[in-house]
Amino acid sequence: MIRLLVFLLVVFALALGGAWIADRPGAVDITWLGYEIQTSTTVAMAALIAVIAVAIILWSLFRAIVHTPGRMSRFFSRRKKDKGYRALSNGLIAVGAGDHRLARRYASEARRTLPNEPAVALLEAQTAQLGGDRAQARTVFETMLEDRDTQLLGLHGLYVEASREGEAEAAKHYANEAAELAPSLPWAASAQFEHAAAERNWEEATRILDRNAHNKLVDKPTARRRKAVLLTARALELEMGEPEKCRALALEAHSLAQDLVPAAAVAGRVLARLGDVRRATKVIEQTWKRTPHPDLAEAYAHIRQGDAARDRLKRVRTLAALQPQSNEGAFAVAEAAIDAREFDEARTAMRPVLNDHPTQRACLLMAELEEAETNDQGRVREWLSRAVRAPKDPAWTADGIVSESWAPVSPVTGRLDAFEWRVPYEALGTVIEPPIDEALMAAAPATALKTVPSSAPASAEAAVVAVSTTAAPAKPAPAEPAPPIADPMGASAEPAPAAPAAKPVEPEEIVPPPAPASTPVAEENVTDVKPVGDPATGTTETEKAADEANGHKGPETVRFPLETPPDDPGPDGGEQEPSEGKRRMRFFN
């Protein structure tokens, strides 16, 4: 629209000029070489305009003829560059798509059409890397070092190749050289920091980290976390030799990352060692509220040296109350209670853990509790067998490695702050243990000692022996268990003197025959003698009910008369063959 208006204005101006000249007629006389030309002003002006137009056309033709070779050369050159750039673009796309053959073809075409283009070298290097020709890739990157424009690109490529080959020293050299050329280069600064951390040069790593944070190459939360880890690593190295310096480093690390468990643990230990119990307590409690951990519980329990076991138990109760929903508090209380011989409290603390998710640590702790309280090896073995197949507990894990203690860097990759407190990988098909019966979690009942009823007959000829072999129980314990039978290998009652028996037997428990009605029998010589409920099988009513609850079949009974009842051979009497189930032997009428 604007162009139309301009055109109309120009036409209008020309028409107006022509009309103005036509309204003012005049004559023009030209005398040149004896010729005299007379014409009007209008014709003279038209002739002048025509001459000028012809001159312009002739000059344009002359210039076109003169500049045609140059223009033709620039045309072909431009077309060649366009073809090269298309090949370069298609080559980069082929590299991104993973088509090595197509990328190599486009790289050759780009090099032929664009011999001096830096991006062609990049395409060739990436094509060589895609094809696995690392030697060719290194050669291309080394040629980039000769050009100032591509020097940093070549250093980065050489650094990547050295890292893939596992050449740490060469990679460190390329990173340092790139950092000298461009201190704010992100990959070079990060590589310098990673190499310093992997070499456990904590002071150098801290200096590089501060420089990177100043150049805004690392965000503030990441910089604070990494610095806390570096300070903790230095504090752990100085914990035994320089406690004062260790305390300063550990407290600074704790202030930077209060959820960092190793920093709080080492700070608590060194503060307690230096006598600052109040500050040590505060530091551990702050981290415990964020991340409960066994290392914190251990440091908190022994925060005051020389305390009795009951004092440690009281202190651990306070710590556990800060996170009542955490299982770590229950573990800490249970361990302290076992040390203090408060077995009922230990069972109470472990009950929620066993009901919710009994792990290996929980089953092992219950085995320790059973051994410390009752020394019942049967229950101890039951807990140990559950621990073998129970789910794993959280542990310090980094790059597939499980460590008993925290480390600042990964032993596999050298990555800083790689260890995490989590459950390690579990293989598929893990056997799920059945729920733990209430009777197994409860305390074992004391062994019952009874006397023989006075109405028992005194005839020794009527005594018989029942050897009962039962299969292993399908459940940990019956719903209403019968009073346990003392193991002869660990029984508290003194065994009778050994005497030869009429026939070798394999007893687990041998009870002397009943004495005459007129003569009482001493309690210390009789262990768990019960009234016989069924003379045909030698099993009491209580035992029959317990066996039925466990799904046992009736015992295989062998009855034979004895002229004289044998005495208890004791723990060493007679050879014992191994058997899967327990064997009970009783004398009855």
| Tens digits of residue pLDDT in 514-537 | 444 444 444 433 334 444 444 444
User: Alpha-carbon distance 555 to 124, whole Å?
Assistant: 84
Buried b (16+ CB within 10 A) or exposed e, 275-299: ebeebbbebbbebbeebbbbbbbbb
More confident residue, 501 or 363: 363
Let me know: does 400 contact 180? Beta carbons within 8 Å. no
Let me know: does 512 contact 585? Beta carbons within 8 Å. no
How far does the chain reach from its first CA to its final CA, in angstroms? 129
Let me know: does 438 contact 507? Beta carbons within 8 Å. no
For residues 131-155, average pLDDT: 91
64-86 pLDDT, tens digit per residue, is 898 888 888 888 888 988 999 99
8-17 pLDDT, tens digit per residue, is 898 888 888 8
- For tokens 């799920």, the residue is 432
User: Alpha-carbon distance 140 to 151, whole Å?
Assistant: 12
User: Alpha-carbon distance 204 to 197, whole Å?
Assistant: 8
User: Alpha-carbon distance 448 to 106, whole Å?
Assistant: 92
On average, the pLDDT of the chain sits at 78
Pairing of strands 35-40, 27-32: antiparallel
- % of residues, the chain, pLDDT over 90: 52
Whole-structure pTM over 0.75, yes or no?
Answer: no
User: Alpha-carbon distance 29 to 37, whole Å?
Assistant: 6
Q: Which of 75, 145, 143, 137 is nearest to 115 (CA)?
A: 143
Let me know: does 589 contact 462? Beta carbons within 8 Å. yes
More confident residue, 208 or 557: 208
- Per 3-state DSSP, the chain is made up of helix, strand and coil in percentages (nearest 5) of 55, 5, 40
Residue boundaries of the structural domains of the chain: 18-66, 449-478+505-567+581-589
pLDDT of residue 458: 38
Environment class of 383 (CB within 10 Å of its CB; exposed 0-12, middle 13-18, buried 19+): buried
Let me know: does 528 contact 449? Beta carbons within 8 Å. yes
Confidence at 578, pLDDT banded by 50, 70, 90 = very low
- For tokens 């640590």, the residue is 361
Q: DSSP class of residue 539? A: B
Bridge partners of 395, per DSSP, are 422
What number of H helices and E strands is found in the chain?
21, 7
CA torsion, points 532, 533, 538, 542, in degrees to nearest 10? -100
- For tokens 């026939």, the residue is 503
User: Alpha-carbon distance 269 to 280, whole Å?
Assistant: 7
Helices of type H across 291-412: 294-301, 309-322, 327-339, 343-356, 360-373, 377-389
pLDDT of residue 32: 81
pLDDT of residue 522: 41
Let me know: does 360 contact 382? Beta carbons within 8 Å. no
Backbone angles phi and psi of 27, in degrees to 5: -130, 145
Backbone angles phi and psi of 459, in degrees to 5: -75, 120
For residues 432-455, average pLDDT: 57
For residues 32-53, average pLDDT: 84
For residues 283-307, average pLDDT: 94
340-360 pLDDT, tens digit per residue, is 999 999 999 999 999 988 999
